[in-house]
Amino acid sequence: MSAPAQAVTPVKQRTGAALLADCLTAAGITVVFGVPGDTGVAFYDALRDRTDTLRHVLARDERHAVAMADGYARAANRIGAVEVSSGGGTTYAVGGLGEAYAAGIPVLVVASDIHRDSRGTGALTEIDQPALFAAVTKRTYQPTTAAEIPAAVDDAVRVATTGRPGPVAVIVGEDVLDEGTGAEPVTDPAGGTLPATRPAPDPNAVAEAARLLAAARRPALLAGSGVHTSGAYRQIAALADHGIAVATTIHGKGAIDERSPWSLGVAGNNGGNALANGYLADADVVLLVGTRANATDTNGYTTPPRDATVIAVDIEADLAGRTYPDALRLVGDAAGTLGELAGALPVPPGEVLTARRTAVEERRARREPLRYNRSTEPGRLAPEDVLGRLAELVPAGTTVVADPGTPTPNLAEYWPVAAGRTALAPRGHGPMGYALPAAIGVSFARPGEPVVALTADGSFAMCCGELETVARFGLPLVTVQFTNDSLGWIKMLQHLYYEGRYFGVDPGPIDAVAVARACGLVAVRAHTLDELDTAVSAALAGRYPVYVDVPVPHLIDHVPPVPAWHQALDGDRTRPVY
């Protein structure tokens, strides 16, 4: 006689792929950028059923899918998500992740991988993904069963958003995506927001920093992107009210309202201005906040000089003061640390404040227009004039994303911003072709708002496939391309430091207007500011994307605000070390 059949309560099963998608939702992720591949088909099947909660944005290249997630993260101040598949997808994604890693941007990469039975067989798309991602992520995860997916995603999101943010990768094999499981996601809707934690600094270090600042004659502050991550705008403004003039790096642009009398603008050697650089060079006590303070940010450690008294605030102990070894280190969240510092610092007497303020104003008044700007060729517009006109056209507070080359120093110098993260430039690695896809990401973070992308002819060639993405989603992007018919930045270096021995910097032309039109966009070439105005105004009014190609003078003829280049033209031909 056989035993009576027992009633079995069926366990609710879902596939690893469905669980993975639900884990993203449980982590508060609502958009995932990506490109499909063979190993990720199960994940796409799960996404297809979840479009109400998890929006998929199909990119045309994994590098750009990552740049979209990166731009989204910078604009939303929360983790951006991207999915790619094994082989070409993962290797292309690395190109986007380098920037996010170097710039400290939280990006969650979901990478599908080959079936475990195929490992080591030379299977199509096989690559050692943890090794591949090692240099461009804070950590990688490889759940070996579907039940391990929730903990992996939960931990990955926490690691990406804790301390200095950065990318993380969750690698899931096809077999794990297909496996049934009763495991549940870990729900943490606030999990992906920045900063995940706000560590407090050592009170003794705060007291010592307050003592140094109180004794300073000419104190200054250099703010980096950590201020944006922390949202420390109020605390920066409070320190400025104590008579501390505030400069920013390009990543930190918007740490202070640039119309403030205490704002010095952007410092450094890529769009850095003479006021900010000069003030930092002469300051006796300098507070570095959430910045790498690398050689580009500090003009080779001269702004501030290494012998100034430096106080370095960073959320990571090993980053605080890394490039200023004698710095007093304050390890903690920027908002909390600066708040405590402002509380511990007496406001200087009125006459001291006035004198310091006057000193900033006088230096500002003495600011001269850049030399070596002799744009005369008709039909070519000066980039600063283009930005000036654009600022009149787009609503105040519009986010602008700049590519390397002509766009970056011009954005730094000629696009004044209020407090907030509205001027984005990829200064981690400075990858060409970043601006357009990142602006797409910004557009998903700030839906309905116009977004400006500033690109250049070389960058255009690296990202133009994404023009179709812009058209497909009808995003209100104003893209302006500065065309000088060369890889101008590098040509300029050859001009200044290699006696004009140009090599490999003059590719043939591409008609960007024709390409943009072929991708479904309204596109024009503007030889005058009025032509630019007409095209942009119509697009803004009609809320449709527009592509404007603007011929500009060569960097050699119209030298952008790059301090070392002006020094070189003044006779100092030593190439700075970065």
| Cα–Cα distance, 441 to 53 (Å, whole number) | 18
Edge-first strand order for the sheet with 263-266 is 263-266, 245-248, 219-223, 285-289, 309-314, 328-331
By C-beta, is 243 or 431 nearer to ligand TPP? 431
| Cα–Cα distance, 78 to 449 (Å, whole number) | 18
Stretch that binds Mg ion, among 78-86, 201-209, 324-332, 484-492 (CB under 5 A): 484-492
Verify binding: residue 383, Mg ion, rule CB under 5 A: no
Nearest distance from residue 569's CB to ligand TPP, in Å? 17
By C-beta, is 47 or 512 nearer to ligand TPP? 512
Q: Which does 106 bind (CB under 5 to 8 A by kind): ligand TPP, Mg ion, none?
A: none
Q: Which does 15 bind (CB under 5 to 8 A by kind): ligand TPP, Mg ion, none?
A: none
Please count the residues of this chain forming the interface with Mg ion, following the rule CB under 5 A: 5
Q: Where are the alpha helices (DSSP H) in 289-434?
A: 334-344, 350-365, 383-393, 407-414
| Cα–Cα distance, 427 to 270 (Å, whole number) | 10
Residue 14 DSSP SS3: strand
Nearest distance from residue 487's CB to Mg ion, in Å? 6
By C-beta, is 417 or 425 nearer to ligand TPP? 425
Residue 523 DSSP SS3: strand
Return the closest-CA partner of residue 289 out of 349, 357, 229. 229
By C-beta, is 103 or 432 nearer to ligand TPP? 432
By C-beta, is 34 or 404 nearer to ligand TPP? 404
| Cα–Cα distance, 472 to 238 (Å, whole number) | 44
By C-beta, is 33 or 460 nearer to Mg ion? 460
Nearest distance from residue 405's CB to Mg ion, in Å? 6
Decide if 242 contacts 347 (C-beta within 8 A). Answer: yes
Q: Which does 535 bind (CB under 5 to 8 A by kind): ligand TPP, Mg ion, none?
A: none
Nearest distance from residue 411's CB to Mg ion, in Å? 15
Nearest distance from residue 451's CB to ligand TPP, in Å? 19
Nearest distance from residue 550's CB to Mg ion, in Å? 11
Decide if 546 contacts 521 (C-beta within 8 A). Answer: yes
Verify binding: residue 112, Mg ion, rule CB under 5 A: no
Verify binding: residue 456, Mg ion, rule CB under 5 A: yes
Verify binding: residue 404, Mg ion, rule CB under 5 A: no
Return the residue of 235, 410, 443, 484 that touches Mg ion, per CB under 5 A: 484
Decide if 327 contacts 212 (C-beta within 8 A). Answer: no
The site for ligand TPP (CB under 6 A) is made up of 404-406, 430-432, 456-459, 482, 484, 486-490
Terminal CA-to-CA distance of the chain, rounded, Å? 84
By C-beta, is 262 or 482 nearer to ligand TPP? 482
Q: Which does 249 bind (CB under 5 to 8 A by kind): ligand TPP, Mg ion, none?
A: none
Nearest distance from residue 297's CB to ligand TPP, in Å? 17
Amino acid at 335: A
By C-beta, is 246 or 559 nearer to ligand TPP? 559
Distances from the Cα of 83 to the Cα of 147, 154, 436, 470, 521, angstroms: 20, 16, 19, 19, 26
Q: Which does 34 bind (CB under 5 to 8 A by kind): Mg ion, ligand TPP, none?
A: none
Q: Which does 443 bind (CB under 5 to 8 A by kind): Mg ion, ligand TPP, none?
A: none
| Cα–Cα distance, 198 to 218 (Å, whole number) | 30
Number of residues assigned to the chain: 578
Return the residue of 99, 403, 457, 466 that touches Mg ion, per CB under 5 A: 457
Residue that is written with structure tokens 């403030």 in the block: 260
Nearest distance from residue 509's CB to ligand TPP, in Å? 11
Long-range contacts of 522-526 (CB under 8 A, 24+ apart): 522/546, 522/547, 523/547, 523/548, 523/549, 524/548, 524/549, 525/549, 525/550, 525/551, 526/381, 526/550
Taking every pair of C-alpha atoms in the chain, what is the biggest distance, in angstroms? 103
Q: Which does 459 bind (CB under 5 to 8 A by kind): ligand TPP, Mg ion, none?
A: ligand TPP
Neighbours of 234 (CB within 10 A): 12
By C-beta, is 19 or 456 nearer to Mg ion? 456
Amino acid at 499: E
Neighbours of 126 (CB within 10 A): 16
By C-beta, is 321 or 488 nearer to ligand TPP? 488
Q: Which does 86 bind (CB under 5 to 8 A by kind): ligand TPP, Mg ion, none?
A: none
Residue 295 DSSP SS3: coil
Verify binding: residue 407, Mg ion, rule CB under 5 A: no
By C-beta, is 140 or 486 nearer to Mg ion? 486
Verify binding: residue 488, Mg ion, rule CB under 5 A: yes
Spatial CB neighbours of 505, under 8 Å, sequence gap ≥ 6: 486, 487, 488, 490, 491, 494
Decide if 96 contacts 426 (C-beta within 8 A). Answer: no
Q: Which does 513 bind (CB under 5 to 8 A by kind): Mg ion, ligand TPP, none?
A: none
Residues within the interface to Mg ion (CB under 5 A): 456-458, 484, 488
